[in-house]
Amino acid sequence: MADSGLSQDEINALFSGTATDGGGGNALTTDEQDTIGEVANISMGTAATTLFSLVNKKVDISTPVVSMSRWEDIVNMYEKPCVLVRIGYTKGLNGSNVLVLKEQDVKIITDLMMGGDGTNTDGEISELHLSAISEAMNQMMGSAATSLSSMLNMMVDISPPTSDLMDLQETIDGGDIDEFLRDEFVKIEFNMIIGDLVDSKIMQLYPVTLAKEMCSQVAANMESDSNSTMDDSAIDSPPPAAAPAAAAAPPPMMAAAPPPMMAAGGMPMMAAAPMMQQPQVNVEAAQFTPFAGGGIPAYAPENIDLIMDVPLEVTVELGRTHKSIHDILEFAPGTIIELNKIAGEPIDVLVNGKYVAKGEVVVIEEAFGVRITEIVK
């Protein structure tokens, strides 16, 4: 018997219906991989624009590369603990996908979102980092879902993403990973560059069923557009000409114009156009009645009584300051906030948000009050 050239593992895989080369019934075809790559390219391009508005840095995302993969391959690519962001679809699509980001990239994005320069990355990943990257992914994948809605011609919505710090070396032994990651799945890999701070690979993992659902929806949408285009062309094309039932009647005879008058030298003379008689128009200078007293007439004093009972909101402002999100998150009972007013400086009095007066704080029995010291003109 000739040697088949297959190992025992490959033979077992063939009998189980999943070939090791990714060509089994659950794998994506070449056309499906191209379709998923185009969908990911448009979606992540929109997401990159959203991330730019969050970190205020130029964000570049390369063309995605689509392939079939297994969890063991992901573990071998990433040695350090990674942040896994799970995004589930609540409308339009069934399933979820997972984004894999490096720990250092998450720290840099979080620092930029907090108003830093991206260099404050010391320490371990905390709940603050996970919350920040979840919010970033919520806005990024939300804009990507909007692009998906246009491509798939249906409403697509996502659930709020959840982020976890995961040691990939431990999960390979049966740790807490998504169920679809235990089998072969679709891996979309692309490079993300943020200014001169981040230049690394990011992976987006899809279950095969979700990827095939996207491909079928894209194909159905393209077929619908093609049929619509054919229908429009049929409507726009002119109907075939009908055979003439009888000879067309001859056009009516036009009255012959008199021959033009000839000037000296044989050149035709142009007929003079009749002169239009212009109507007589009388133009007079505008005259205005002067105001009494040389100014705007004063309203009767009793008119102000009509609005005397209108309530107005009076606000006393002790001072203001500006704090970053990082400083506000560190507020605790006992925290002292320094304002922009110096001790003893008059406070501002505002009426319906309009600055009208200055004053000083007084105590009336057991309540605070304000003594007006200056009216702002």
What pLDDT, on a 0 to 100 scale, did the predictor assign at position 86? 92
Higher pLDDT: 177 or 100? It is 100
Model confidence band, residue 281 (pLDDT cutoffs 50, 70, 90): low
Q: Residue 273: pLDDT above 90?
A: no
- Whether residues 183 and 59 share a domain: the answer is yes
Q: Residue 250: pLDDT above 60?
A: no
Total domains, the chain: 2
Q: What is the DSSP string of 159-179?
A: PPPEEEEE-HHHHTTT-S--G
CATH number of 60's domain? 3.40.1550.10
Cα–Cα distances in Å, from 83 out to 47, 78, 98? 18, 11, 10
Q: Could you tell me what percent of the chain has a pLDDT over 70?
A: 69
Q: Does any domain span residue 255? A: no
- Whether residues 316 and 197 share a domain: the answer is no
Model confidence band, residue 335 (pLDDT cutoffs 50, 70, 90): confident
- Whether residues 214 and 343 share a domain: the answer is no
Q: Residue 28: pLDDT above 90?
A: no
CATH number of 331's domain? 2.30.330.10
pLDDT tens, 162-194? 998 887 766 545 456 677 788 889 999 999 999
Round the average pLDDT of the chain to a whole number and report it.
77
Q: Residue 336: pLDDT above 50?
A: yes
Q: Does any domain span residue 360? A: yes
What pLDDT, on a 0 to 100 scale, did the predictor assign at position 170? 61
Last residue of a domain, one of 224, 246, 267: 224
Model confidence band, residue 272 (pLDDT cutoffs 50, 70, 90): very low
Residue indicated by tokens 């094309």: 237
- Whether residues 62 and 193 share a domain: the answer is yes
Q: Does any domain span residue 344? A: yes
pLDDT tens, 291-333? 555 555 554 555 677 777 888 899 998 888 888 888 888 888 8
- Whether residues 205 and 326 share a domain: the answer is no
In Å, how far from its chain's centre is CA 109? 18
What's the domain range around 199? 10-224
Model confidence band, residue 255 (pLDDT cutoffs 50, 70, 90): very low
What whole-number distance in Å separates Cα of residue 210 and Cα of residue 135? 24
Q: Does any domain span residue 118? A: yes
- Whether residues 204 and 334 share a domain: the answer is no
What pLDDT, on a 0 to 100 scale, did the predictor assign at position 178? 72
What pLDDT, on a 0 to 100 scale, did the predictor assign at position 15? 43
What pLDDT, on a 0 to 100 scale, did the predictor assign at position 189? 92
Last residue of a domain, one of 174, 197, 224: 224
Model confidence band, residue 235 (pLDDT cutoffs 50, 70, 90): low
What pLDDT, on a 0 to 100 scale, did the predictor assign at position 13? 44
What pLDDT, on a 0 to 100 scale, did the predictor assign at position 345? 86
- Whether residues 202 and 326 share a domain: the answer is no
What pLDDT, on a 0 to 100 scale, did the predictor assign at position 270? 47
Model confidence band, residue 133 (pLDDT cutoffs 50, 70, 90): very high
Q: Does any domain span residue 303? A: no
Q: Does any domain span residue 91? A: yes
- Nearest in space to 74 (alpha carbons), one of 172, 173, 199, 209: 172
Q: Does any domain span residue 299? A: no
- Whether residues 199 and 333 share a domain: the answer is no
What pLDDT, on a 0 to 100 scale, did the predictor assign at position 288? 66
Q: Does any domain span residue 287? A: no
- Whether residues 328 and 202 share a domain: the answer is no
Model confidence band, residue 264 (pLDDT cutoffs 50, 70, 90): very low
Model confidence band, residue 226 (pLDDT cutoffs 50, 70, 90): low
Q: Exposed (0-12), middle (13-18) or buried (19+): which is 341, by Cβ within 10 Å?
A: middle
What whole-number distance in Å separates Cα of residue 351 and Cα of residue 313? 6
Beta strands in 106-244 (DSSP E): 157-158, 162-166, 185-194, 198-206
pLDDT tens, 145-168? 888 888 888 888 999 999 988 877
pTM: 0.54
Q: Which of 121-130, 311-320, 335-344, 345-354 has the lowest mean pLDDT?
A: 335-344
Last residue of a domain, one of 200, 224, 248: 224
- Whether residues 190 and 316 share a domain: the answer is no
